[in-house]
Amino acid sequence: MKEDAVKAEKAGVILGLEGRLPPSVTGRFVDRVGSPAVKVYFDCVHAHQEGADISKEIALLGDSICEFHAKDYGDILSGRGRSTIGRCGTEWMPSVIGLDSGGAVGEVTGDKPLGFEETHRRNLQYLRRVFPLNS
């Protein structure tokens, strides 16, 4: 990973690691690599499914988080499944404020019940309500 981190630094990119090791282990790994190009891609669904204290995990990982993986599970249409997106945007947002993250990335996998474009359009509208852009 250290070799890849050097390459990423030279290319000006961030390697966002997604996984479900405990945040203390993930944080130590990122610290050991010791590169600003290696950060954590935090997936709220994985943490939620495991019953983790997400605010605590976000606080523990802090500035090592580069982005949040915003998605629901149980229904492809955001806001209709077991919502972690809404909780990321409201309940957990105080833990996120002040972090230098790149933002949130939505994910839609599997069948698109309203067709490709309409499914993505509806999910984007939901994300914009949950995470309003500052003007």
**Residue-range domain boundaries for the chain:** 2-130
Q: With cut-offs at 50, 70 and 90, classify the pLDDT of residue 101.
A: low
pLDDT for the residue 4: 96
The second-level CATH assignment, the architecture, of 2-130 is: Alpha-Beta Barrel (3.20)
Q: With cut-offs at 50, 70 and 90, classify the pLDDT of residue 88.
A: low
- Name the residue type at position 29: F
Strand pairing report for 15-17 and 65-70: unpaired
Q: What is the mean pLDDT of the chain?
A: 79
H-assigned helices in the chain: 2-11, 23-33, 44-49, 54-61, 85-89, 93-96, 116-130
The pLDDT tens digits for 15-52 are: 999 887 888 889 899 999 999 999 998 887 777 778 88
Q: Which of 44, 50, 52 is nearest to 93 (CA)?
A: 44
Instruction: Return the bridge partners of 106, or none.
Output: 70
pLDDT for the residue 87: 61
Which three-class secondary structure state does DSSP give residue 40? Answer: strand
The pLDDT tens digits for 102-129 are: 666 767 667 778 888 898 888 888 877 7
For residue 54, is pLDDT > 70? yes
**Phi–psi pair at 41, nearest 5 degrees:** -100, 100
Both tokens of residue 14? Answer: 């961030």
